């Protein structure tokens, strides 16, 4: 009897996990927050604090208009591919030369190792050493030399254009991000946020056993994740663990199922553990320890946009208002004029899409 083909999601990838797929354990108290409307998600994304939170919007790719955001040549390479090797082969040298990326392999269990073109080896045809085409050639060379196992999972990270291009939605904006549309483009106040970095936002392409090892981002910012296809396990540790878990588990640690007892213990300390599926969009704080692992058959494709919500601006306004009032009462200082965030807040609060409440800025005591 011939098994039927698995149901497919976008880009010709499976929309369900195999019945016996080995996953991380997820306790009830580790589940992420889930919202079901764009309004709820944007309220959290733009106005609320993200520390200690992972908030998922199922089907967010479609709801936020991100379905066709990936570059066409990458979509063609991913469609129907069984793994990252297929993607690299189908992309071709000419198309791969247009992209810059990092490439990783996992030949040793629970360890990630980056593939780099050594200084002693010049890339062919004078191509840039950091281009995906050069990394692909180096990967093939290392695989022939036995440095990369033939069945080692691969992970393409931070994929973007090699050179800046004019953004399709804003010709005056020059970017390296290879997505033609971002959450940045569909949120009402993205340009008024304290920070929203999309000039070099990267795409990540992985397969079962590949992912981002345990780390903390270099900046205390939030990340908006978009998952076009495939499945990914994601874990976030509490702020209080931001040093200890890295020291004990090791920076870059990979939690590859099936887990050892030691790895289970580390994951049991996570604040949130989530299984992200096709079409999901989620937000979390990159300033807390976190890790991600691709699971399931086929290829996983996602991208991240880092930024800062307006919560700190709103808190600052509250403090400045109180300070100005006290200064006037005491007659000590003239009101501040050099820092005026009130104009920003007025712009942020005059909207039919997001409602600003005190509870979204100051969490209630005891919660």
Model pLDDT for residues 275-284, shown as the tens digit of each residue: 999 999 999 9
Instruction: Note the pLDDT of residue 134.
Output: 94
**pLDDT beyond 90 at 4:** no
197 vs 12, residue with greater confidence: 12
pLDDT classification of 307: cutoffs 50, 70, 90: confident
**pLDDT beyond 80 at 136:** yes
Instruction: Note the pLDDT of residue 272.
Output: 98
Average pLDDT over residues 261-270: 98
CATH of 27-308, one of 1.10.3720.10, 3.30.930.10, 2.60.120.650, 3.30.2130.10: 2.60.120.650
Q: How far apart are the first and last CA of the chain?
A: 55
Instruction: Note the pLDDT of residue 324.
Output: 55
Place of tokens 């345990």: 214
pTM of the full predicted structure? 0.82
Q: What is the pLDDT of residues 84-129, one digit of tens each?
A: 999 999 999 999 999 999 999 999 988 999 999 988 777 667 788 8
Instruction: Note the pLDDT of residue 10.
Output: 73
**pLDDT beyond 70 at 367:** no
Average pLDDT over residues 297-319: 71
Instruction: Note the pLDDT of residue 329.
Output: 55
In terms of Cα–Cα distance, which of 338, 302, 298, 296 is closest to 320? 338
Task: Report the alpha-carbon angle 11-16-17, nearest 5.
Answer: 115
In terms of Cα–Cα distance, which of 306, 178, 182, 157 is closest to 232? 157
**pLDDT beyond 50 at 19:** yes
Rounded-to-integer distance, Cα 51 and Cα 193, Å: 17
Rounded-to-integer distance, Cα 44 and Cα 38, Å: 10
Q: Where in the chain are all domains bearing CATH 2.60.120.650?
A: 27-308
Q: What is the pLDDT of residues 325-340, one digit of tens each?
A: 555 555 554 444 444 4
Give me 288's structure tokens: 């807390």
Instruction: Note the pLDDT of residue 308.
Output: 61
Average pLDDT over residues 285-305: 96
Instruction: Note the pLDDT of residue 126.
Output: 73
Average pLDDT over residues 193-208: 84
Q: What is the pLDDT of residues 151-165, one digit of tens each?
A: 999 999 999 999 999
Of 140-149, 166-175, 263-272, minimum mean pLDDT range: 166-175
185 vs 351, residue with greater confidence: 185
């Amino acid at each position: 009897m011939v098994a039927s083909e698995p149901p497919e999601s976008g880009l010709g990838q499976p929309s369900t996990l195999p019945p016996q797929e080995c996953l991380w354990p997820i306790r009830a108290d580790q589940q992420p927050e889930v919202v079901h409307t764009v309004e709820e998600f944007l309220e959290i994304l733009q106005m609320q604090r993200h520390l200690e939170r992972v908030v998922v919007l199922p089907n967010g790719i479609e709801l936020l208009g991100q379905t066709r955001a990936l570059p066409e040549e990458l979509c063609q390479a991913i469609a129907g591919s069984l793994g990252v090797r297929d993607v690299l082969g189908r992309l071709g040298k000419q198309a791969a030369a247009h992209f810059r990326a990092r490439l990783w392999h996992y030949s040793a269990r629970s360890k990630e190792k980056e593939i780099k073109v050594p200084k002693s080896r010049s890339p062919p045809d004078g191509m840039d050493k950091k281009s995906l085409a050069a990394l692909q050639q180096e990967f093939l060379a290392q695989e022939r030399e036995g440095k990369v196992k033939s069945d080692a999972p691969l992970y393409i990270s931070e994929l973007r254009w090699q050179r800046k291009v004019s953004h399709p939605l804003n010709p005056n904006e020059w970017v390296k991000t290879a997505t033609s549309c971002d959450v940045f483009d569909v949120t009402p106040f993205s340009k008024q946020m304290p920070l929203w970095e999309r000039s070099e936002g990267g795409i990540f392409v992985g397969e079962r056993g590949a992912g981002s090892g345990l780390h903390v981002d270099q900046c205390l910012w939030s990340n908006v994740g978009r998952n076009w296809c495939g499945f990914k396990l994601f874990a976030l540790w509490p702020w209080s663990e931001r040093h200890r878990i890295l020291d004990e588990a090791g920076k870059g640690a990979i939690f590859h199922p099936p887990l050892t007892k030691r790895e289970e213990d580390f994951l049991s300390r996570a604040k949130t553990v989530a299984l992200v599926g096709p079409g999901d969009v989620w937000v979390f704080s990159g300033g807390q320890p976190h890790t991600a692992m691709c699971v399931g058959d086929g290829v996983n494709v996602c991208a991240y946009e880092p930024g800062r919500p307006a919560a700190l601006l709103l808190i600052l306004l509250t403090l400045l208002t109180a300070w100005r009032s006290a200064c006037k009462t005491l007659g000590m200082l003239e009101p501040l004029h050099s820092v005026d965030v009130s104009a920003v807040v007025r712009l942020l609060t005059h909207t039919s899409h997001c409602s600003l409440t005190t509870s979204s800025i100051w969490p209630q005591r005891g919660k």
